[in-house]
Structure 1
Amino acid sequence: MDYDASLAVRAPAGDSEHGRFDFAALLQGYMLPLDAQSLAGAARRLVAACPSLPQPGGGHTLARWQFLAGLAAHDLSLVKIYEAHADALAIHAELAAPRMPRDSAACGTAPEIWGVWAARSPRNELRFTSSRSGHVLLSGVKPWCSGAAFVTHALVTCVDSDDRDWLAALPIGQPGVTVTARGWEAVGMAATQSVEIDVQNAHATLVGPGGAYLRRPGFWHGGAGMAACWYGAAAALAVRLREAARRRDDPHLNAHLGAADVALSAARALLREAAHAIDAAPEADAMALALRVRAAVESAVEVTLHACTRGLGAGPLCRNRWFARMAADLPVFVRQSHAEHDLAALAKHASTNEDWSL
């Protein structure tokens, strides 16, 4: 295994047990980066060891993000799966919705692993025509379903006969849910197998009132938390750059390390500020805050990737399995950002509300 866990960015000691989690010990025996076959087992082991994280806005948001950043420093496919699981539990808690009863036949003794699949199918969105006490039958196609081959349940967006938006809890291992091989050709994040699923008259339970998924404050808390994953991966790559600079006194290498340091330090400061702001006002509209922190971290990722590939050259990209996969995975993961669309949305807020005084 060419991945050196001692060089990874560990989650800093926070105000809860999650800041001190030993990912290296948990992942012992796995070769990093994880492939599609090993990702399922690693995800089950992680969820069993740490079933949930502190609720966003509950006073320990930074500890939640530190955990995610520390996990991302080891493997991006694993944090993609675990972040969705933790987000699903946070959504259930925020909407005061009970989780579905455990299906022992489907899950056996393995832990439940939840996904959150909110992308719309351009041709056949999940739809239901009637609801009995919140129980519905879903039919349609859901794209971008990360971990579909092994997650046990998912929160999925869907629409009713009047095209109103809803959120539903869908057990995956039931008749009527088919995991396809369509829709995922990426080299980066290949292990997640974020394919399409076909759904035909599958049983699901509505979660919260109509439109609640997007209206709740936690929607933007989760969006900001995703940036912690991006940050953790970029910081782990920068550690390799720093180690090279310690071994070799090269002015160009040092300049690249300096650029990464500036970008990551600024992103880290904004992540910490955002976490404290969310905890101080958990019911406030956090859209602008989330868009700003995501854009700042995305910029830091771009600077860090540029610095690492220019400063380190082809060697780690071609000869170090972990580095090469991280460098391929991270640009795909970051494209969960909506780029200029998000910047334009942020500009509308900044044009009337933002005070930039120091």
Structure 2
Amino acid sequence: MDLPDFLKSCTSRLDTAQALGHCLQQLVDAGLDQLPLPGAGQTLQRWQQLALVARHNLGLCKLYEGHTDALATMRELNAAPVARGSTWGMWAAEPPDARAHVLEHNGRILLSGRKAWCSGAGVVSHGLLTAWDEQERQQLVAVDMRHPGVSVGTAGWDAVGMAATASVDIEFEQVPGLRIGHPDDYVQRCGFWHGAIGIAACWHGAASALAEALQQHCDKRNEPHALAHLGAVDAALFSARCVLGECARQLDHYPGHDAQRLARQARAHIEHCVDQVLVHVGRALGARPYCKDPHFARLIADLPVYLRQSHAERDLQALGEQAARQPVLQWPL
């Protein structure tokens, strides 16, 4: 069974963390988590698979994207193959009030502290997370979530959008872990920015599902204003698709190049396009699908939350700083 067929057959309600975890496990058991690695010649195919899952359910996509990103990261950093059937969370948020630390004790790595924003923490078998070593360097650590000393919280996640992901805190108390790569490898490797564009592919996938609802509406009703909204949505998604295609081409041709500026450009543009889709679809369709169409209602609630993986003006500032350092005539046609 391929991924489209799996998603068509997946009719169960994915409205709890347990349901998402069960579906992720089914995807893994079917081998549907084995995506092409980014920058290895089939980057667009990887992003197309992520977008398919996003169209189906963004909560599932959040766990699936994290799992597949963890696998790609460990491959890039030459880690040992993961256990067959294991499911992975990828947790790299670093808020100032939650830090995990690693200490070396008798030749072992022990993980302690708190990690925040851990999507699917209660339903995956393993986690790949950033922590800080004794020299205050960021270190990537793999951990078995079933080990004593791992405590997954239940409070502090009051989300409506993306509610089922249960992105809660984890407390670690001297939990054995495995170093992955060297200190600071996580953000310095090429794949960090490759994965950042993959997130934007998820945004595009969800937005395309909302656009499809508008297209179906316009196919049945000759409403000039709705058609104008559909035209704007079609143009926005076309440009986003072109950007993703060009990004994939560049990553596949130059996999070892620094892709930070490319990723920031792509994410800024696709975020803008998705914002346009949210506005136009809502204005064209009115309240009915928000209230009567469960798939639409879930996507329209989840997507603005998922979109906030962008840091908005802070990301634009960083992009502007990079652009300011470039030579003149940097946008040739």
Name the TM-score class by shorter chain: over 0.9
Query: After superposition, what is the alpha-carbon deviation per residue over 1:2-39, rounded to whole angstroms, capped at 9, x for unaligned?
Result: xxxxxxxxxxxxxxxxxx94434445253355433321
From 123, 127, 132, the equivalent of 2:97 is: 123
Q: How does 1:65-76 map to 2 (within 5 A)?
A: 65-76=47-58
Per-residue CA shift, 1:197-225, capped at 9, x if unaligned?
A: 11100010110011000000000000011
Task: Give per-residue Cα distances to partners, 1:245-304, cap 9 Å, x unaligned.
Answer: 111111110111011111111110000000010000001000011111111111111100
The answer to whether the 8 A contact 2:230-2:280 is kept is yes
In the other structure, the counterpart of 1:246 is: 219
Describe the shift of the 1:63–1:36 C-alpha distance in structure 2 as closer, same or farther (beyond 3 A). Answer: same
Moved more, 143-152 or 43-52: 43-52
| CA shift for structure 1 position 89 | 0.9
In terms of mean alpha carbon deviation, does 37-46 or 118-127 score higher?
Answer: 118-127
Alpha-carbon distance, 1:131 to partner? 5.6
Contact 2:203–2:306 (8 Å) recurs in 1: yes
Go from structure 1 to structure 2 and tell me whether the alpha carbon gap of 1:333 and 1:124 turns closer, same or farther (over 3 Å shift): closer
The 5 Å alignment of 1:326-337 reads 326-337=299-310
- How many Å separate the matches in 2 of 1:126 and 1:36? 23
For 1:28-47, what aligned pairs fall within 5 Å after superposition?
A: 28-47=9-28
Check conservation: 2:3, 2:49, Cα contact below 8 A: no
Q: Deviations over 1:62-92 (max 9, x none)?
A: 0000111111111111111111111111111
**In 2, Cα distance between the equivalents of 1:58 and 1:314?**
44
State how 1:254-265 maps to structure 2 within 5 Å: 254-265=227-238
Query: Comparing 135-144 with 269-278, which one deviates more in the overlay?
Result: 135-144
1:198 & 1:306 partners in 2: Cα distance? 39
SS where residue 244 of structure 1 aligns? helix
Superposed, 1:11-26 pairs within 5 Å as 21-26=2-7
Aligned residue among 43, 50, 55 for 2:37:
55
Q: For 2:16 and 2:137, locate their aligned partners in 1 and report how far apart those are by CA, in whole Å.
A: 38
Give the Cα–Cα distance (whole angstroms) in 1 for the partners of residues 187 and 266 of structure 2. Answer: 19
CA distance in 2, matches of 1:30, 1:187: 21
User: Quick check: 25-34 or 303-312, which moved more?
Assistant: 25-34
CA contact (8 A) 1:154 1:172 kept: yes
Aligned mate of 1:84, from 66, 76, 85: 66
Are the aligned partners of 1:21 and 1:67 in contact in 2 as well (CA < 8 Å)?
no
Deviations 1:182-208 (A, max 9, x none): 231110001110000111000101100
The aligned amino acid for 2:18 is Q
The residue aligned with 2:156 is: 183
CA 249–46 in structure 1, closer or farther in 2 if over 3 Å, else same: same
Structure 1 residues 124 and 320: alpha-carbon distance in aligned structure 2, compared to 1, 3 A threshold: closer
Q: In structure 2, which of residues 89, 114, 126 is the aligned counterpart of residue 153 of structure 1?
A: 126
Amino acid at match of 1:254: L
Task: Using the aligned pairs only, state the percent identity.
Answer: 45
Structure 2 counterpart SS, 1:276: helix
Match of 2:201 in 1: 228
> What RMSD over aligned residues (CA atoms) do the two structures have, in Å?
1.6
TM-score (norm 2): 0.95
Deviation of 1:341 after TM superposition, in Å, equals 0.8
Q: 2:272 aligns with which of 299, 304, 319?
A: 299
For the residues of structure 2 that align with 1:71 and 1:124, how far apart are their CA atoms? 30
Aligned counterpart, 2:88: 114
SS of corresponding position for 2:102: coil
For residues 54 and 24 of structure 2, the distance between their equivalents in structure 1, rounded to whole angstroms, comes to 13
Distance 2:79 2:315 in 1: 30
CA distance in 2 between partners of 1:215 and 1:25 (Å):
35
Q: Distance in 2 between matches of 1:53 and 1:25?
A: 15
Aligned to 2:319: 346
SS at the partner of 1:288? helix
Structure 2 vs 1, CA of residues 219 and 132 (structure 1 numbering), >3 Å: closer, same or farther? farther
Q: Which amino acid aligns with 2:253?
A: A
Q: In the alignment, which residue of structure 2 is the partner of 1:3?
A: none
Q: How many residues are aligned here?
A: 330
